[in-house]
Structure 1
Amino acid sequence: MISIEQILTPSRCLVNALGGSKKRVLEQIAHLVANDQSDIDEDALFENLIARERLGSTGFGNGIAIPHCRMPGCTSPISAVLHLETPIDFDSIDGEPVDLLFVLLVPEEATDEHLELLRQIATILEKPTTLEQLRQATNSEALYKAVINAQPAPQLHNAD
């Protein structure tokens, strides 16, 4: 099973990202990922993120959004994490502005594995101590480490 640690890198973690608007943040996400992944087209990614938001906001509540989409040219899941300098309106289900964005891009032929990644992200983001660590990270490396450290330990199976 794929874990967040396998799809996230420090170079795709951004602290004090400029917000402004949902559109501007989605542009910034597309730029961040395309800079790191040469096989991802920045404009196509932006359009796919916008199209997904039109289906319904990915604003999760509690200051969190999980923008995600299927992406042509994406051969395996990719993640990015942004902490915004100033929270923005993201049409979240609770009406609260968003300052933490956890991005997930998956291949067009996404499988149950990708739903599992969304579940892992949601589990990480429901812990108040984790949210505090993410929001207090002062650089990309600290943000990355806060995400990685928040992952639950792998379950060991007994042979009983």
Structure 2
Amino acid sequence: MTLEALLSPQLSFCHLAGSSKKKLLLNIAQAIAEQYSQHDADTIFNQLIARERLGSTGIGEGVAIPHCRLPGCSQPIGVLCTIKPAVDFDATDRQPVDLLFALLVPEDAEQQHLETLAQIAALFSDNRIRDKLRQAKTSDELYALAIDSAAAA
């Protein structure tokens, strides 16, 4: 699945605020529910938090990829954001997170979930791409840089 199919400009946020991991995930859940009215922010938040309880989705280098399967979800949904100030995400390298990609997939899409997570992780493992995304000044610029970087990768 391409990043362009997962992500929309409406779910790309430059300098999203969140004083903690929970507050950040709540803001993301609310943003998704605003764009996809069939989904409830509380359900999204609870699914994301349940996944975090299994182990942090902070993968290091200031990056987190919170993800979950969502009941009633018919298509994968992505949210990209830079975070200011950076938030402690219990990452493996203990660095606070300032770059995040949240992924929600249909409940029964196990293989697609794993493949999409692998693609996103590969994209964010490139320090040049991380640096470009962190330089974005607006949400539209963040979205465009992400799509261009993914297409070039």
Please give the TM-score of this superposition, normalised by the length of structure 2.
0.96
2:139 aligned residue: 140
| Whole-angstrom distance in 2 between the partners of 1:153 and 1:116 | 19
Instruction: Tell me which residue corresponds to 1:115.
Output: 114
Match of 1:125 in 2: 124
**How many percent of aligned residue pairs carry the same amino acid?**
46
Residues matched between the structures, number: 153
Offset at residue 122 of structure 1 (A): 0.9
Give the secondary structure class of the aligned counterpart of 1:151: helix
In our comparison, the structure showing a higher alpha carbon Rg is 1
Cα deviation code 1:76-135 (max 9, x no counterpart): 100001111101110001111001110100010013222111111011101111111110
Q: 1:95 maps to which residue?
A: 94
Q: Take 1:6 and 1:103, find their aligned partners in 2: how far apart are those partners?
A: 14
SS in 1 for 2:129: helix
Q: CA deviation at 1:19?
A: 2.0
Matches within 5 A, 1:24-39: 24-39=23-38
Structure 1 residues not aligned, in runs of 5+: 155-160
1:53 is displaced (CA, Å) by 0.3
- 2-structure distance, mates of 1:76, 1:152: 21
Runs of 4+ that moved beyond 2 A? none
The match for 2:3 is 4
